[in-house]
Amino acid sequence: MNFIKPNARVCIIKAVLKSYLLLIMLSALHSAKAQTPARDTSRFLHIIKPYILPCSSMFVSGLLDGTIETINYHYYNGFKLVFPKANDQFWNPAVSWTNKYKDHNAALGPKFPGSTTAFVFTTDAYHALRTARNFIDFGTITYYINRSCNQTRKPPFRKYLLDALIIAASHALGFTAAYSVIFR
């Protein structure tokens, strides 16, 4: 059952995004040298700085993941309520899967070379969003591994566990923002 009207959803979306932006801005203000003593600033910046890029990218990955799940399982009662003019031929997975075939008929074969494999992300929203999410995830993992390899001291295992939990929480926050706030 849908209790939130589409206009209220837009307000909620804006509130979530403004809160996230406010959090980033507050952390930047808190780290400014004119605002706090140098030792406090350097400690705070030292703690928060390594998480800014991976957490932001995983938040976006979560938003994409939530959108993917919404178009798959709540297209008409979720996605279409927020984006009523969205092109069903591209966004609705029940219809858009045929975009990769000639004349939308699987029996006629692929629309162009790679339309069912390497370039499937160009045919519909589901595959485009999954490809974007995968690139973001792989980029975040690569960044994190590179950063870890460049450390002079090897941190204890609990540090890696804490990092994984923080980054996973960012993804979950993005997913929840899309799946339970934006499209509900």
What range defines the domain where residue 123 resides? 6-182
Residue 1 is predicted with a pLDDT of 45
Q: Is residue 1 part of a domain?
A: no
- What confidence score (pLDDT) does residue 16 get? 63
The number of distinct structural domains making up the chain is 1
pLDDT tens digits, residue range 8-17?
666 666 666 6
| Inside any domain, residue 138 | yes
What residues pair up with 101 in beta bridges, in sequence order? 110
Comparing 50 with 96, the larger pLDDT belongs to: 96
108 inside domain: yes
Contact 95, 101 (CB under 8 A): no
pTM of the full predicted structure? 0.75
Convert the pLDDT of each residue in 132-175 to its tens digit: 999 999 999 999 888 888 878 888 889 889 999 999 999 999 99
Residue 41 has pLDDT above 90, yes or no: no
Q: Compute the residue count for the chain.
A: 184
Computed over every residue of the chain, the mean pLDDT equals 86
User: What residues contact 61, with CB distance under 8 A and at least 6 apart?
Assistant: 133, 136, 137, 140, 171, 174
With 80 as the cut, is the pLDDT of residue 103 above it? yes
